[in-house]
Structure 1
């Protein structure tokens, strides 16, 4: 159940990432290495800390909703959250950055508050 749901969230995060990269006119060669490095780091940290927390007994999972695939003690479904964060962070940043630059260029920017 959670594995299938993870695929939908990953698809949505990937779409936001691609839309943001297109809106921000990011070159694939310029963003590939930083995104790959962030993904590797996040997945590695997820593997380490999820395993430590599960081993310490801080939490556990009901097995009836999981696929059964694990990396150590951590279910594979946990890694989708880290991957989504890596994709959503820059994707949303680029989308909002592109939106702000378009507003600034069209004269629809918010006027400064002179009452302060």
Structure 2
């Protein structure tokens, strides 16, 4: 299995599970977060690959690079940008519900 197949599968599951919460969140902050994390990924992955901190197996990647970072690496930035606000919202909602039960 190549990295892109695994990344797409994880992103599809994440979006499917997160959709009820995502549709209630404002879109532009999420988009800006994705853009900024992808820019940071492009810069720092390029630097880390250039410093030989890690190497990708050419058989596992598509071979498409953005700057020096393989396309597959951007899935992690997208997953973090989508997953963290969803977790924050869901866990915050549970915490408020637990606090309301304790006060009652």
- The TM-score, its normalising length taken from structure 1, stands at 0.76
Conservation of the 8 A alpha-carbon contact between 1:66 and 1:75: yes
Is the counterpart of residue 92 in structure 1 residue 87 in structure 2?
A: yes
Whole-Å separation in 2 of the counterparts to 1:15 and 1:101:
25
Pick from 49, 66, 69 the counterpart of residue 44 of structure 2.
49
Structure 1 alignment gaps of length 5 or more: 111-116
Residue aligned with 2:59, SS: helix
- The TM-score, its normalising length taken from structure 2, stands at 0.84
| Per-residue deviation, 1:99 | 2.1
- Superposition RMSD in Å: 2.0
Whole-Å separation in 1 of the counterparts to 2:4 and 2:56:
13
| Per-residue deviation, 1:87 | 0.5
| Per-residue deviation, 1:11 | 1.5
Cα-to-partner distance string for 1:68-91 (whole Å, 9 max, x where unaligned): 111122111100000000000001
Q: What's 1:67 paired with?
A: 62
Q: Which has the higher contact order (CA 8 A, sep 6+)?
A: 1
Q: What's 2:29 paired with?
A: 34
